Amino acid sequence: MKTVISLCDLTGNMVQPWVEAGYSALLVDPQHGETTVELAGPWNQVTKFAGTIEDAMEYIGAYVRSSHVAMVFGFPPCTDMAVSGARWFRDKYEADKLFQAKAVMVAEQCRTIGRISGAPYMVENPVSVLASAFGKPQHTFHPADFTAYEPADNYTKKTCLWTGGGFRMPEPAKDESLGAPDNRIHFASPGPDRANFRSATPMGFARAVFEANHRPALEAAA
């Protein structure tokens, strides 16, 4: 059975359409709390690995060596890279001069795993200093670009994608009846859940990427 790997992924939004279609999924994120394996159907399962990418390397390697990886997604934390938080960079640098290098390292782990998997891959981040390390992103989008798949995503948040391995960027599909998108990300209330709210993958985009990149379930199971 083909497996989708999603790194630094708490919500599992990105893999949901794949799991519904019969793929298995491996989610890696320390916020999972504990590692669990859940059956998602007769033949597929969702594994949530509670740890960092480095912690999960042996586990990830087994999937890659099996040659059964269908897609790799990477969502490296943007807290120390997004230009929207640049006002705090000086204080963070004084506390840890390697804070940004560490953040880029996690992004590079995501990209490297994508490259060695032999599967299509994407690494996601908002407008950030990651472009200084990775170069210009191959694609950008706003959640509102895919409201035909999910009307609730009618909001703006410019998001960058660094892709490879044959990744196909879906064409925008907007529900024009919804009117102008809002700016809920910018106005998100302060609090412990703010970062996770701002970084959650929009379901419309997740479904659009699935439609553009998946193979029929029977072919994926071969």
Digit-coded pLDDT (tens) for 54-87? 999 999 999 999 989 999 999 997 654 554 545 4
Q: What is the mean pLDDT of residues 191-220?
A: 72
The whole-number pLDDT of residue 217 equals 43
Q: What is the mean pLDDT of the chain?
A: 85
Digit-coded pLDDT (tens) for 105-121? 889 999 999 999 999 99
Residue located via tokens 């409201």: 147
Q: Above 80 in pLDDT, residue 218?
A: no
How far, CA to CA in Å, does 56 sit from each of 4, 74, 189, 205?
15, 14, 33, 26
The whole-number pLDDT of residue 77 equals 78
Question: Strands 45-49, 24-28: parallel, antiparallel or unpaired by DSSP?
Answer: parallel
Query: Phi and psi for 178 in degrees, rounded to 5?
Result: -80, -15
* pTM of the model as a whole: 0.86
Best CATH choice for the domain 3-220 from the list 1.20.120, 3.40.50, 2.40.40, 3.90.25: 3.40.50
Q: What is the mean pLDDT of residues 24-42?
A: 94
Q: Residues with Cβ < 8 Å from 165, sequence gap 6 or more?
A: 72, 114, 115, 117, 118, 119, 120, 121
The whole-number pLDDT of residue 208 equals 97
Q: What is the mean pLDDT of residues 205-219?
A: 82
Q: Above 50 in pLDDT, residue 222?
A: no
Digit-coded pLDDT (tens) for 145-201? 999 999 999 999 999 999 999 999 999 999 999 999 998 866 555 544 444 444 689
- 11 or 95: whose pLDDT is higher? 11
Q: Above 90 in pLDDT, residue 96?
A: no
